[in-house]
Amino acid sequence: MNEATPPADGGSAEVPGPRRRAFLRGAVGAGFAGAAAGGAVAGYAYRAGRPEPPGQVAADEAETGRLPAVPFHGRHQAGILPQPQRQTAVVSFNATADGHAELTDLLQTLTDRARFLTTGGTPPPVGIGAPPSDSGVLGPTVVPDGLTVTVGVGPSLFDGRYGLADRKPAGLTAMTTFPNDNLDPAQCGGDLIVQLSGGHTDTVVHALRDIARHTRGGMQANWRIDGFCSPARPAGTVPRNLLGFMDGIANPDTGSAAEMDGLIWVRPGAGEPAWTAGGSYFVVRLIRMLVEFWDRVGIGEQEGMIGRRRATGFPLDADSLFAAPDYALDPTGDMIALNAHIRLANPRTPQTASSRILRRGYNYDRGIDAVGDLDMGLIFTCFQQDIKRQFETVQTRLINEPLVDYISPFGGGYFFALPGVAGPGDYYGRAMVS
Amino acid sequence: MVNTGTCGAGWQHPEPGLQTLRIYDGATEGGDIDLIDPANGAVYGEVEMLGPGTTASMSVDLGSGSYAFRCLFDDTDPMTGSVIKIDGHVRGATPILPVTSNDLLGPAKEYQAYVTAGLAVLAGQTHALAAAVQAGDLAAARAAWLPAHLTYERLGAAYGTFGNFDDEIDGRATGLAGGVNDPKFTGFYRLEYGLWHGQSAAELTGPANELYHDVLGLQSAFPTMELSLLDIGLRTHEILENALEFQLTGTDDYGSGTTLATTAANITGTEELLQILHPLLVPRYPALPRVYTWLNRLQSLIDAQHQADGAWTPVTALSTADRQQIDAAIGQALQELAPIAAITEPRTT
């Protein structure tokens, strides 16, 4: 299972040959089966690159109803590398802090809350001096339940308001509009992004209420989306997206420091300000899946568009889940079409190895649209060292993929996930605002 | 263990630090149990309405010092248990001196005087409003509507302060089967709807006169209305909770686009209550200056939407940035205001 190394002689992504509907308009959706190596599992407790030990996560959760704390302090934020958890909330905020000092207060408060919520403990008693200091949603003692808090900053934070114009990460721009995007400005961008992920919905909701309560004056929510990561079905495989396909089979090896340094963590120099060390570019794309339409498509066409078997997740040219497709043996796309999603997303060539991204998608499901169809899809998130070299390169390759007819990207943004909080005296973005 | 004979027996080996005390009521009566500083009666923790034969927990952060339980059983004189000492030099939470009903009598009188004066002004303004409608001068009526409404909103009416009068004078159409056309829809919002939706003077004369008469009714009933002492503290955040829920969302905009003006009036009402409670709050609420910081910021942000010609920006016309600044300021102000209701709840000592 050495998929991190692309085949030496991978097939190049030629202009795709037409299939039924493939002639329809081109577009986007880097969300479905991108880059290299790693068995994706639910529950952060497992190292990437290893299949899920069957049943262990489920048994642990069933017995205790909670997951252990994820250490908060570190060189990088703790929520970036772990596998997707059961539940997530992604919330965009605008800073309303009045000036640099209040922004610093906001970042310190956010850090204090994240530290407490991810560590767990007893909320302080208030006596007769105030309403209860905690919502009580998790009971009298706050359990960590694997909570991670990932904080990013958007390009708009670096306008004139906070004197940070010369601190902007070099590659941080407003999100590019790709062909066939259907972006709603009200669900795009933001000065700050906060992603809360944990073992259960109540854990995530509790954390969001707590953070909002402590930061009301400093930031205001712009948009929010909640997501979930399904259990691997069958056990030992990879969680599925709402198209019914396993999603996140191939990813860079998060256990390899060299690979993470080469693909994920930002290195100062080359125009990047020094404070960015240890951070990572954080792309969020909200992608509606037109599931009714999709469900009316034959299985052969579905599998052809993705390039994998729906039931097993196997590449169409292989007999195991984590096998690397051999595009060199299939230069004309007889087995895996040249425009299949997995082939465009990750052609597995030496030339495309540096465009790989760390994908951390979640499913979303939030009601119905104007014609009564289900509003569900993917919260595509990915981390990378360089948005242009990585996400945008992958996304550009996907512009003409056939899958585009079944998806509609409507929101999201480009953010920079701040360096980790090093210790008790540190806070999110300290080097950015100092 | 508490009962009518002993108050706080069985606390073995008291230690400093964050802890949860479990309190069992062995009496045949229920009551409130406080953990106090025996020197001055300041309260560290409180269990309200502990029932006979039941247990409740009290979370406290105790430092070195002296402690005692105080038991306030129904139909029994307050009783203080024996003094418990925690040795050493550990810092714990700061206790708060309870506010008594007696402490609140002065503030209640001041608030009554404030409302009484406001109602007198309101009576004159609603009379002028009714007269304008009756005379068929709807432009004058629209001009008279806002100052009258703001006078009412400055009184700090929220959550039933004025009983049914509030529904009649300032009730909204939601909750009425016929909505804005329901005959039970009366008062300021009924008139606002008509005045800003092209209804005729003939159609509005009835509602305008009714409003004036309801204000007169409130004015004569108010001196005999019982004002709950608990409400004075509660209103310090409830008035702006209402503003956030109904004014800043635009729910209560029946056509004039003046919900930001209403919010400003609600800030004035809140500040009046704060001023009345100020002497009680200063020794009990160290973060009180933050309340004023955020109320002032909110006030400035709202004032910035009051145009030179007297018009107000409707909330629906606010830019995202302005809207978020206002929402942030009221949200933070409410957070800072919330402790006041807990601190000023009347307690027996």
- Kind of pairing between the strands at B17-24 and A362-368: unpaired
Judge contact between B34 and B46, C-beta under 8 A: yes
Residue ranges with strand state E in chain B? 17-24, 31-36, 43-50, 55-62, 65-73, 79-80, 84-86
pLDDT of residue B227: 84
Q: Is residue A51 part of a domain?
A: no
Q: What is the pLDDT along chain A (434 residues), one digit of tens a residue?
A: 333 333 333 333 333 443 444 433 333 333 333 333 333 333 333 333 344 444 455 555 544 557 999 999 999 999 999 999 999 999 999 999 999 999 999 999 999 999 999 999 999 999 999 999 999 999 999 999 999 999 999 999 999 999 999 999 999 999 999 999 999 999 999 999 999 999 999 999 999 999 999 999 999 999 999 999 999 999 999 999 999 999 988 899 999 999 999 999 998 887 899 999 999 999 999 999 999 999 999 999 999 999 999 999 999 999 999 999 999 999 999 999 999 999 999 999 999 999 999 999 999 999 999 999 999 999 999 999 999 999 999 999 999 899 999 999 999 999 999 999 999 999 999 999 99
Which residue of B324, B332, B340, B349 to mutate against A (max A Cβ within 10 Å)? Answer: B324
Q: Is residue A215 part of a domain?
A: yes
Judge contact between B258 and B146, C-beta under 8 A: yes
**Cβ-Cβ contacts under 8 Å, B285 against chain A:** 129
Measure in Å the smallest separation between the Cα of A279 and chain B Cα atoms: 28
Plot region of A220 (φ>0 → left; ψ -120 to 50 → alpha; else → beta): beta
Instruction: Please name the residues between 33 and 52 in chain B that touch chain A, using a CB distance below 8 Å.
Output: 43-46
Amino acid in position B304: A
**Interface check A219 vs B, CB under 8 A:** yes
B144: tokens are: 């008279």
Distance CA B230, CA A142 (A): 31
Q: Do A128 and B98 touch (CB under 8 A)?
A: yes
For residue A188, the enclosing domain spans 56-433
Shortest CA distance to A102 belongs to which of A240, A190, A248, A217? A217
Measure in Å the smallest separation between the Cα of A213 and chain B Cα atoms: 8
The low-confidence residues of chain B, meaning pLDDT below 70, are 4, 157-159
CATH topology for B101-343 is A middle domain of Talin 1 (1.20.1420)
Question: At A109, phi and psi to the nearest 5?
Answer: -65, -45
Which of A125, A140, A218 lies nearest to residue B61, judging by beta carbons?
A125
Plot region of B127 (φ>0 → left; ψ -120 to 50 → alpha; else → beta): alpha
Distance CA B53, CA B24 (A): 7
Domain parsing of chain B, residue ranges: 17-86, 101-343
Q: How many domains does chain A have?
A: 1
Which of B93, B324, B327 lies nearest to residue A127, judging by beta carbons?
B93
Q: Is residue A339 part of a domain?
A: yes
Distance CA B105, CA A52 (A): 67
Shortest CA distance to A431 belongs to which of A418, A416, A415, A417? A418
Burial of A416 (0-12, 13-18, 19+ CB in 10 A): buried
Q: Do A128 and B46 touch (CB under 8 A)?
A: yes
Q: Is residue A18 part of a domain?
A: no
pLDDT of residue B172: 94
pLDDT of residue B76: 85
Distance CA A275, CA A422 (A): 13
Interface predicted TM-score (ipTM) over 0.85: yes
Which of A94, A124, A131 lies nearest to residue B324, judging by beta carbons?
A94
Q: Which residue of A has its CA nearest to B36?
A: A127
Q: How far is CA B80 from CA B9, B38, B56, B142, B331, in A?
A: 11, 8, 19, 61, 40
Which residue of B332, B334, B344 to mutate against A (max A Cβ within 10 Å)? Answer: B332
pTM for the structure as a whole: 0.90
- Classified as helix, coil or strand, B292 is helix
A402: tokens are: 């056939």
Instruction: Please name the residues between 292 and 351 in chain A that touch chain B, using a CB distance below 8 Å.
Output: none
pLDDT of residue A269: 81
Burial of B245 (0-12, 13-18, 19+ CB in 10 A): exposed
**Cβ-Cβ contacts under 8 Å, A188 against chain B:** none
